[in-house]
């Protein structure tokens, strides 16, 4: 269905509501879909079964793929936590919503899709990670983690004050979300619930229920675990996000007392351990002690040491993902049990991707595929063609227009994204976007230089503007992005075309020069 038809349907509903009797209005309101937005932090598509993972399974997230549509080319506008969240709430690129870095102040007074839904009569709730340094607006109910939040016995900020809840964060956020669904005021009203997990963000602290997963065997390594960053811009070699040199023993790898700092001379304490109850600590120690003792006695070095660190890192990451997947299962089961599933849009997404050892890295930020891509799976019975995929280019600025469109609410002209609803039926409308704009601004941790770029269906152009250096990748012949073709004469025409594309996108989105 074309976007225009959806808008017409929404306008028609509004007209009908204006003239309808109370009971009719209630009935029409009931037909507006509920939206359950299940969101996680740093969950890369390489660790989602339905997206082709070779390192884990996610049976519950995969249910959404089987019953809905998987977006295989969904990307963020800026691969870092708070800016991605700001783009989702506003439907705008970072320069337009003002949240370019995690440290920037976010203007909470600007147009936010949850506030528009609340005004239109939706019951709205936000539970979990928020990370925008401003009191949430547009929610009837909110309880959020302060900042990054904690995995164990997390604090939650609410309108009434801060409370500490004992337990594991992913389970608590799920419990609180289910609790709100069960007891939400005005159950005849459609709802928007944003269930936003902390996991699997660093420091990848698994819950008691997942600590023993992956105990046996090894997780396959990515092809580029030992990338030496040749044939690309020189600054790549100055990155500070390597598994080899920058993961800290105590903080990240859960091996305390080694007195072997990382390349920057750091080895902070793992912040979760200090928060645990004695019983939680016993459980944690029992899970890691034997492996840690063996590690200490082996005195590994070189590639063997990197391999050990990779296994510890990826196993903890996947343990955190497993709890998120369980959460999705519990929420979907609730919708089934209560009969809400038929009229509820369920989305699973995460604020950006992540390096799971690719290029030798953890973390995100660079415009390379692993951290640029986002998971986006959507189920809407009767509207989204079950078990289908789309390769149309989509971006997190599209989420707000999509949700408003589904709710029959006019999409504000200031939003820069487009409703994805037309894609749900498996047909890409003529004139759909042919390229995406990206811009990473932060100068800080991990030493990633600011850069911007354009990606079309096959090529990617990146500009490190402070150094005025360029990269051009051919994603068809070089999907791992190991060879910069920018100065390759064979790619001269492509480079020129991608320059034009980038200029056009910057004009379209009114991007100021940095």
Contact positions vs Ca ion (CB under 5 A): 41-42, 81, 351
Residue nearest to Ca ion (CB): 81
- Measured from the CB atom, the residue of 199 and 341 that comes closer to Ca ion is 199
Both tokens assigned to 386? 């079950």
For the chain, the distance separating the N- and C-terminal CA atoms, rounded to the nearest angstrom, is 39
- Measured from the CB atom, the residue of 60 and 196 that comes closer to Ca ion is 196
Asked if 255 contacts 273 with a C-beta cutoff of 8 angstroms, the reply is no
DSSP 8-state assignment for residue 361? B
Min CB(357)–Ca ion separation in Å: 18
- Measured from the CB atom, the residue of 53 and 349 that comes closer to Ca ion is 349
- Measured from the CB atom, the residue of 81 and 125 that comes closer to Ca ion is 81
Min CB(81)–Ca ion separation in Å: 4
Min CB(350)–Ca ion separation in Å: 7
Residues ≥6 apart with Cβ < 8 Å to 252: 202, 203, 204, 270, 313, 362
Min CB(442)–Ca ion separation in Å: 12
- Measured from the CB atom, the residue of 40 and 416 that comes closer to Ca ion is 40
- The C-alpha atoms of residue 190 and residue 33 are separated, in whole angstroms, by 6
**CA distances (Å), 410 to each of 345, 362, 405, 413, in order?**
18, 40, 7, 9
- The C-alpha atoms of residue 100 and residue 120 are separated, in whole angstroms, by 29
Q: φ and ψ at 195, to 5 degrees? A: -100, 105
Min CB(364)–Ca ion separation in Å: 7
Sheet with 69-71, side-by-side order of all strands: 161-164, 155-158, 141-145, 123-129, 191-196, 34-40, 344-350, 376-379, 69-71, 388-390
Min CB(351)–Ca ion separation in Å: 4
- Measured from the CB atom, the residue of 81 and 454 that comes closer to Ca ion is 81
- Measured from the CB atom, the residue of 348 and 486 that comes closer to Ca ion is 348
**CA distances (Å), 401 to each of 74, 410, 440, in order?**
15, 9, 23
| Of 444, 452, 447, residue with least CA distance to 512 | 452
Min CB(136)–Ca ion separation in Å: 18
- Measured from the CB atom, the residue of 42 and 325 that comes closer to Ca ion is 42
Asked if 427 contacts 388 with a C-beta cutoff of 8 angstroms, the reply is no
- Measured from the CB atom, the residue of 41 and 272 that comes closer to Ca ion is 41
**CA distances (Å), 138 to each of 114, 245, 257, 356, 414, in order?**
5, 43, 46, 35, 18
Q: φ and ψ at 63, to 5 degrees? A: -60, -40
- Measured from the CB atom, the residue of 33 and 154 that comes closer to Ca ion is 154
Helix axes 81-90, 399-406, angle to 10 degrees: 30
Min CB(396)–Ca ion separation in Å: 11
Min CB(365)–Ca ion separation in Å: 10
Both tokens assigned to 271? 């912040």
Q: Residue 168's CB: how many other CB atoms inside 10 A?
A: 23
- Measured from the CB atom, the residue of 48 and 498 that comes closer to Ca ion is 48
| Of 396, 428, 401, residue with least CA distance to 414 | 401
- Measured from the CB atom, the residue of 320 and 502 that comes closer to Ca ion is 320
- The C-alpha atoms of residue 480 and residue 156 are separated, in whole angstroms, by 40
Min CB(86)–Ca ion separation in Å: 12
Min CB(156)–Ca ion separation in Å: 19
- The C-alpha atoms of residue 497 and residue 469 are separated, in whole angstroms, by 17
Min CB(194)–Ca ion separation in Å: 15
């Amino acid at each position: 269905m074309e976007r225009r038809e959806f808008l017409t349907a929404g306008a028609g509903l509004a007209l009908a509501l204006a003239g309808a009797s109370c009971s009719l209005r209630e009935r029409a309101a009931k037909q507006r879909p509920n939206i359950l937005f299940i969101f996680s932090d740093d969950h890369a598509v390489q660790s989602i079964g339905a997206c082709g993972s070779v390192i884990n399974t996610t049976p519950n997230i995969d249910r959404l793929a089987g019953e809905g549509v998987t977006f295989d080319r969904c990307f963020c506008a800026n691969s870092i936590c708070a800016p991605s969240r700001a783009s989702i709430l506003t439907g705008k690129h970072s320069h337009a919503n003002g949240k370019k870095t995690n440290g920037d102040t976010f203007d909470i007074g600007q147009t936010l899709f949850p506030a528009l839904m609340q005004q239109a009569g939706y019951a709205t709730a936000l539970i979990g990670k928020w990370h925008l340094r401003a009191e949430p607006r547009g929610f009837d109910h909110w309880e959020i983690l302060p900042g990054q939040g904690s995995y164990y016995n997390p604090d939650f900020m609410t309108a009434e004050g801060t409370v500490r809840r004992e337990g594991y964060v992913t389970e608590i956020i799920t419990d609180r979300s289910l609790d709100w669904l069960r007891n939400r005021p005005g159950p005849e009203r459609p709802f928007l619930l944003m269930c936003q997990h902390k996991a699997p963000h660093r420091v990848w602290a698994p819950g008691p229920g997942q600590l023993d997963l992956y105990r046996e065997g090894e997780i396959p390594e990515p092809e580029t675990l030992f990338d030496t960053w040749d044939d690309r811009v020189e600054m790549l070699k100055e990155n500070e996000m390597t598994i080899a040199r920058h993961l800290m023993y105590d903080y990240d790898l859960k091996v305390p007392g080694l007195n072997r700092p990382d390349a920057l001379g750091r080895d902070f304490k793992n912040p979760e351990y200090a928060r645990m109850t004695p019983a939680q600590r016993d459980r944690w120690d029992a899970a890691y002690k034997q492996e840690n003792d063996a590690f200490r006695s082996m005195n590994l070095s070189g590639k063997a040491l990197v391999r050990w660190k990779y296994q510890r890192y990826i196993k903890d990451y996947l343990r955190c993902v497993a709890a998120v997947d369980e959460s999705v299962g519990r929420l979907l089961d609730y919708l089934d049990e209560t009969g809400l599933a038929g009229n509820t849009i369920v989305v699973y997404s995460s604020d950006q991707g992540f390096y799971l050892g690719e290029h030798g890295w953890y973390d995100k930020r660079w415009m390379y595929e692993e951290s640029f891509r986002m998971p986006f799976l959507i189920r809407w019975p009767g509207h989204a063609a079950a078990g289908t995929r789309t390769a149309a280019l989509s971006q997190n600025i599209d989420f707000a227009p999509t949700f408003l469109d589904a709710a029959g609410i006019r999409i504000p002209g200031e939003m820069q994204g487009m409703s994805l609803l037309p894609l749900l039926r498996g047909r890409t409308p003529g004139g759909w976007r042919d390229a995406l704009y990206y811009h990473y601004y932060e100068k800080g941790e991990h030493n990633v230089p600011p850069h911007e770029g354009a990606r079309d269906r096959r090529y990617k152009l990146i500009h490190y503007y402070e150094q005025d250096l360029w990269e051009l990748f051919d994603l068809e012949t070089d999907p791992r992005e190991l060879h910069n073709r920018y100065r390759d004469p064979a790619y001269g025409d492509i480079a020129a075309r991608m320059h034009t594309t980038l200029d056009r996108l910057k004009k379209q989105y009114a991007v100021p020069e940095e």
